[in-house]
Amino acid sequence: MTTKNGMITKIKDYMLLREVMVILVILALLTFLFTSRGVPIILTIFIDFAIFAIITMSLNLETGYTGIPQFGRVAAVIVGAFAVGSIPGRIMARFMGFPWGIEYASDTVNFKVVPQITALLASNWLLSLGFLVLSLTVAALSGAAIGWLISRPAIRLKEAYLGISLLAFGDFFMWVGHNWKGMVGGSVPVNVPDPFRIFAGNRFTIIVLVIFTIAFLVFVFLNKLTKSPFGRSLRMIRDNDMAAAAAGKNIVTVRTRSLVIGSALAAIGGGLYVLYVGSVASIGFSRLTFTFWPWAFMMLGGIGSNIGVLLGVFLLCILRTMIVIFRSQWFGFLLVVGIDPLWLEFTLMGAVIIGVILFLPYGLVPEKIEPMLPANRVKRVLAGRQ
């Protein structure tokens, strides 16, 4: 017992050391960017980090903790974005006497109506707050509904079949939005009322603080959830679903709940992204950005590790930003041999992912070994038996 506890202590110390080292690297890179580019680039990294942290943590819940091959993360993100882009604005337009039906998504109407809705929101902070809460609520409910819907035909499938089914759902929703003009404009972007316009010149800073706070709350929620009995059920099903079924766990129900919760959180991330950019372009929600990148973030940070996911997202967001900013400056010489540095973002990020798979297969901060019960409770149980 003592030897086992000593081993667990050593592993925890090693993991803590890795976390500290990754944090130091992140701080060093942020300091370099701050001194070379100033505050705006730091705020941009923070908001990218916050949005992708929410989406990646939702993916980690379904894949890292439940073992679902979620290759359709983009589906819930799209649904959340579409919900925020179509429902709250229509409600406001209805009460203000503007066109709010199918014609609301027409570019000739939308570009006239949305600025007037935004002007009204900017005149009343309570109305702006209500619009923000309504938007996030609509996104979460829509994501949860889609999570339940896609779980019906897919949840009983195994491995590759389930992954391909979820991947197909993601493409399905993207093309529905692209071709159904009455929802979010089809191939033409639709503007979204801005609840942050009330802050005028400080809008960008306030958005960063709000989304960062929501990302922190999502982290706290998932951390509590994954350490609860429900979280232990998720890991049990992930590690051995036959043993979980033999222990009386309803695998379909548990996986469905995981998909519902994860999809609701991912939809909130999609809704926040729409509010941040101020418009919805259905074709802009690609598998690359909202499925592949979250997978890359999760793999780099550590599958099944919430803190690892946060560090992975932060580090890769910084690296992507540095590549975009400095690719021409650092790699301009490649033009001599006919290689355009414009495409180095994908090449170098791909190289980073391959390096992680080869040398850090469990990520920067792998899932920690934790006892099923707290140490003090184990001691009380053992003392009671004696």
Flag whether pLDDT at 155 surpasses 90: no
Q: What are 280-327's pLDDT values in tens digits?
A: 888 888 888 888 889 989 988 888 888 989 999 999 899 888 888 887
pLDDT at position 221 is 95
Q: Are the C-beta atoms of 74 and 174 separated by less than 8 Å?
A: yes
More confident: 101 or 50: 50
Mean residue pLDDT of the chain comes to 85
- What is the mean pLDDT of the segment spanning 180-195? 85
Question: How many Å separate Cα 385 from the centre of its chain?
Answer: 45
- What is the mean pLDDT of the segment spanning 11-31? 78
pLDDT at position 45 is 92
Residue with tokens 């959180």: 265
The Cα–Cα gap between 270 and 84 comes to 9
Flag whether pLDDT at 92 surpasses 80: yes
Please report, rounded to a whole number, the percentage of residues in the chain having pLDDT higher than 90.
34
pLDDT at position 200 is 82
- What is the mean pLDDT of the segment spanning 13-31? 81
More confident: 332 or 258: 258
Q: Are the C-beta atoms of 307 and 322 separated by less than 8 Å?
A: no
Beta-strand (E) ranges in 104-239?
190-191
**Phi, psi at 145, each rounded to 5°:** -65, -40
Q: What are 157-175's pLDDT values in tens digits?
A: 666 677 777 888 888 888 8
Q: What are 335-376's pLDDT values in tens digits?
A: 777 777 777 777 777 787 788 778 878 888 887 766 665 667
Flag whether pLDDT at 109 surpasses 80: yes
The Cα–Cα gap between 171 and 164 comes to 11
Q: What are 197-213's pLDDT values in tens digits?
A: 988 888 889 999 999 99
Flag whether pLDDT at 8 surpasses 60: no
Q: Which residues contact 170 (CB under 8 A, 6 or more apart)?
A: 71, 72, 73, 74, 75, 78, 287, 291
- What is the mean pLDDT of the segment spanning 104-114? 86
Q: Which of 74, 71, 25, 35 is nearest to 312 (CA)?
A: 25
Q: Where does the pLDDT of residue 269 fall: very low under 50, low under 70, confident under 90, or very high at 90 and above? A: very high
Structural tokens at position 172:
């399905």
Q: Is the pTM of this model over 0.85?
A: yes
